[in-house]
Structure 1
């Protein structure tokens, strides 16, 4: 660099984070509640069925598919 040449720095900008919309927040709340209910249902299957938690989830998934409802709907 020669004399009299100033070093210029490029300004880097960080991407602006957008806040979730109300609909997204509602969907997340619903998903968390549904997950909690599903986990409770799996706990009941573990307690009464004497199976592992993974096996309990598989049982609940099979039953929900057989009934044509989601696991969250069935667990509610």
Structure 2
């Protein structure tokens, strides 16, 4: 679908670079980015009223011991 949008210059440059890397049109790249952002927003979960960050596949699990160690290292 064709439409006219007013896109900030830095966003357009980033979209052009992403489109080039993925071998797709700028419109396709922007659509994909918008869809991903909208999907992430819709799937935000909370615990005790606090929004949780999504877990990354390669993320290390932060244990209470790690938190205590980092706290103890503070000056």
Same fold flag (TM > 0.5)? no
TM-score computed with the length of structure 1 as normaliser: 0.38
Q: Which has the higher contact order (CA 8 A, sep 6+)?
A: 1
Task: Select the structure that is richer in helix.
Answer: 1
With normalisation by structure 2, the TM-score equals: 0.39
Which structure's residues are more often strand, by fraction? 2
Rg (Cα) greater in structure: 1
